[in-house]
């Protein structure tokens, strides 16, 4: 007897092919049967005739490395049908854990956590599985953690040959022990200080393991074309598989560059490079407020940054650098103070939700002076949102066959970007149901099978006999961002066990580290 039977479901199987109707039976953690025979021998039979059955969604780009410890049930992901996360992106990760300064360096993106009791990936994985987790987690080796491990507490500089060799040894061990790839954030400190020889050495290790390179490349704005060219060249010269993270062009004047960006990816693909990209479904983003500062300031500790910002004599030079950047992405210059808003300041919550322009007016100051005041005083979390791109560009990228779904979810603050909680609903409700930008099979393919293929996950991402029973039952037109604890899913199954069924959430924690 089967454990569960979805009867007469409209199956969107993750391949992009047309839906079909069939019964789907689960035994243990696997899909045991798919067919139209009148089989009813199941402990639980679910009438699926008015809904679609899909694989569980796979989030190609997220930052849940610490969130999965803070909320082991992973409700924010389960509630939107995401059953597998890829963490350690943008070069930001939590292992090896070699320094308290690493904890500070990642907290604007990953948030805080009191008990960093692990040292290695193996330690971290054991802690996760000892308490159980609600969804599956895939991890990348993060460039930031490697640099702190090899360069010590001063990673804002070029690495020596010996330090590069140390990073390569650590990366080799991580990839040998199940890590799926390597990520860097060349926009962020300390990754932005890596020289070409360091990147080549690390990517050669990645190639030996046939893993992949996920990268937040150096410039997504004025210099997005040469920046994208840099990572395409690195990948071609080393032969690694390349994943361009959250593909976009920042700034109104840069939207015209999106077709060229897509052509560059297509051309590299035609030359034989295995390159793809991911995207979150919003025209505005979220990251650390400190990332608005010039690179040389980001090389300093937070204390040194606050000290520099508090000195009136330094501000005129910093303003000139921010308004006239040379070789780096000045989001302030590209987006403007009207479209940069505070999501969360830990010690100045009176500014939460306000734009830099509004804060400047309230303080009677230039918006940049207001920004410098805030950053010179803030000793805790500082998270912002910024309008990065046009809807037209977002849709052009979204439709591209080499671009898949991700959320870029952050859980570092109590007031996160909505992508952390509603991305799948925004993706399906707006772009499939309402605007018909993609068909449902196309969208589900980008959220399931395509990501499983990129990650080379065994027997996941599709509805097929013998595959793991990570499944969702829902009506696309009923998905709703305003749902309290359910955004419109009728059933959520993780490894054959219900996380949600018959109007009830279960704390099964049947996820695992893949």
Q: Which of 387, 409, 431 is the last residue of a domain?
A: 387
Per the domain annotation, does 447 fall within a domain? yes
For residue 99, how far is the Cα from the chain centroid?
Answer: 24
Q: pLDDT tens, 356-409? A: 999 999 999 999 999 999 988 887 888 888 888 999 999 999 999 999 999 999
Q: Are residues 394 and 445 in the same domain?
A: no
Q: Which helix (H) or strand (E) holds 212?
A: strand 212-216
For residue 202, how far is the Cα from the chain centroid?
Answer: 21
Q: Are residues 151 and 76 in the same domain?
A: yes
pLDDT reported for residue 382: 87
Report the distance separating Cα 44 and Cα 386, nearest Å: 47
pLDDT reported for residue 311: 79
pLDDT reported for residue 393: 97
pLDDT at 305 over 90: no
CATH number at residue 488: 2.30.40.10
Domain that holds residue 360: 290-387
Per the domain annotation, does 7 fall within a domain? yes
pLDDT reported for residue 483: 65
pLDDT reported for residue 349: 86
Query: What are the beta bridge partners of residue 182?
Result: 141, 213
Higher pLDDT, 252 or 485: 252
Q: Which of 339, 369, 387 is the last residue of a domain?
A: 387
Per the domain annotation, does 155 fall within a domain? yes
Among 333-337, 409-413, 442-446, 481-485, which is the least confidently predicted range? 481-485
Confidence of residue 484 (pLDDT cuts 50, 70, 90): low
pLDDT reported for residue 376: 87
Q: Are residues 364 and 392 in the same domain?
A: no
Q: Are residues 67 and 216 in the same domain?
A: yes
CA distances in angstroms from 272 to 240, 293, 357, listed in the order given: 11, 38, 47
Query: What are the beta bridge partners of residue 10?
Result: 21, 52
pLDDT reported for residue 33: 94
pLDDT reported for residue 363: 92
SS3 category, 151: helix
Q: Give the number of other CB atoms < 10 A from CB of residue 94.
A: 23
Higher pLDDT, 12 or 286: 12
Confidence of residue 415 (pLDDT cuts 50, 70, 90): confident
Q: Are residues 127 and 256 in the same domain?
A: yes
Confidence of residue 76 (pLDDT cuts 50, 70, 90): very high
Q: Are residues 192 and 309 in the same domain?
A: no
Q: Are residues 449 and 491 in the same domain?
A: yes
Mean per-residue pLDDT, 260-284: 97
Q: Are residues 466 and 319 in the same domain?
A: no
pLDDT at 334 over 70: yes
Per the domain annotation, does 513 fall within a domain? no
pLDDT reported for residue 147: 98
pLDDT reported for residue 486: 76
pLDDT reported for residue 39: 67
The count of domains in the chain is: 3
Among 197-211, 264-278, 327-341, which is the least confidently predicted range? 327-341
DSSP β-ladder status, 52-55 and 340-345:
unpaired
Q: At what angle do helices 258-270 and 224-238 cross, to 10 degrees?
A: 10
Apex 447 CA angle, 259 and 263, nearest 5:
15
Q: What is the pTM of this model?
A: 0.92
Bond prior to 96 in cis (omega within 30° of 0): yes
Cβ contact 246:61 at 8 Å: yes
pLDDT reported for residue 165: 98
Per the domain annotation, does 235 fall within a domain? yes
pLDDT at 171 over 70: yes
Per the domain annotation, does 348 fall within a domain? yes
Q: Are residues 123 and 134 in the same domain?
A: yes
Higher pLDDT, 414 or 174: 174
Per the domain annotation, does 219 fall within a domain? yes
Among 168-172, 228-232, 486-490, which is the least confidently predicted range? 486-490
Q: pLDDT tens, 214-233? A: 999 999 999 999 999 999 99
Q: Are residues 124 and 159 in the same domain?
A: yes
Q: Which helix (H) or strand (E) holds 287?
A: strand 284-288
Per the domain annotation, does 514 fall within a domain? no
CATH number at residue 179: 3.20.20.140
Q: Are residues 426 and 296 in the same domain?
A: no
Q: Are residues 176 and 105 in the same domain?
A: yes
Report the distance separating Cα 246 and Cα 89, nearest Å: 10
Q: pLDDT tens, 10-65? A: 999 999 999 999 999 999 999 999 998 776 689 999 999 999 999 999 999 999 99
């Amino acid at each position: 007897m089967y454990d569960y039977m979805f009867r007469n479901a409209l199956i969107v199987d993750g391949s992009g092919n047309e839906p079909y109707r069939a019964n789907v039976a689960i035994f243990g953690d696997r899909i045991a049967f798919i067919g139209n025979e009148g089989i009813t021998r199941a402990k639980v039979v679910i009438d699926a005739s008015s809904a679609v059955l899909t694989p569980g969604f796979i989030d190609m780009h997220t930052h849940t490395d610490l969130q999965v410890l803070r909320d082991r049930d992973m409700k924010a992901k389960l509630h939107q049908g995401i059953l597998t996360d890829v963490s350690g992106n943008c070069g930001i990760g939590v292992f090896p854990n070699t320094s308290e300064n690493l904890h500070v360096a990642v907290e604007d993106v990953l948030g805080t956590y009191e008990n960093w009791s692990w040292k290695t990936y193996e330690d971290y994985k054991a802690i996760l599985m000892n308490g159980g987790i609600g969804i599956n987690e895939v991890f990348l080796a993060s460039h930031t953690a490697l640099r702190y491990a090899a360069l010590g507490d001063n990673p804002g500089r070029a690495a020596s040959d010996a330090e590069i060799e140390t990073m390569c040894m650590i990366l080799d061990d991580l990839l040998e022990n199940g890590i799926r790839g390597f990520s860097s954030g060349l926009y962020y400190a300390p990754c932005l200080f890596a020289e070409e020889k360091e990147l080549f050495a690390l990517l050669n290790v990645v190639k030996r393991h046939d893993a992949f390179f996920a990268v937040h490349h150096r410039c997504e704005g004025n210099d997005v074309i040469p920046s994208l060219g840099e990572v395409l060249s690195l990948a071609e010269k080393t032969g690694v598989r390349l994943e361009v993270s959250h593909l976009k062009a920042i700034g109104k004047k840069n939207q015209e560059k999106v077709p060229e960006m897509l052509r560059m990816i297509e051309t590299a693909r035609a030359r034989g490079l295995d390159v793809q990209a991911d995207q979150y479904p919003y025209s505005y983003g979220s990251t650390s407020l400190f990332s608005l500062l010039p690179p040389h300031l980001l090389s300093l500790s937070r204390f040194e940054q606050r000290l520099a910002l508090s000195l009136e004599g330094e501000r005129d030079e910093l303003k000139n650098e921010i308004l006239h950047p040379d070789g780096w992405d000045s989001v302030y210059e590209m987006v403007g103070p009207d479209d940069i808003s505070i999501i969360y300041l830990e010690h100045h919550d009176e500014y939460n939700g306000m734009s830099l322009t509004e804060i400047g007016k309230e303080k009677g100051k230039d918006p940049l002076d207001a920004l410098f005041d805030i950053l010179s005083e803030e000793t805790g979390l500082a998270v912002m949102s910024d309008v990065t791109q046009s809807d037209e560009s977002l849709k052009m990228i979204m439709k591209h066959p080499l671009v898949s779904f991700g959320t870029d979810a952050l859980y570092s603050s109590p007031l996160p970007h909505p992508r952390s909680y509603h991305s799948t609903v925004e993706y399906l409700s707006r772009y499939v149901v309402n605007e018909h930008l993609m068909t449902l099979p196309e969208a589900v393919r980008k959220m399931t099978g395509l990501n499983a293929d990129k990650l080379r996950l065994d027997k996941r991402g599709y509805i097929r006999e013998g595959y793991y029973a990570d499944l969702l039952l829902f009506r696309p037109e009923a998905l709703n961002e305003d749902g309290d604890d359910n955004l419109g899913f009728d059933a959520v199954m993780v490894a054959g066990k219900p996380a949600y069924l018959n109007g009830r959430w279960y704390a099964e924690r049947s996820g695992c580290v893949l």
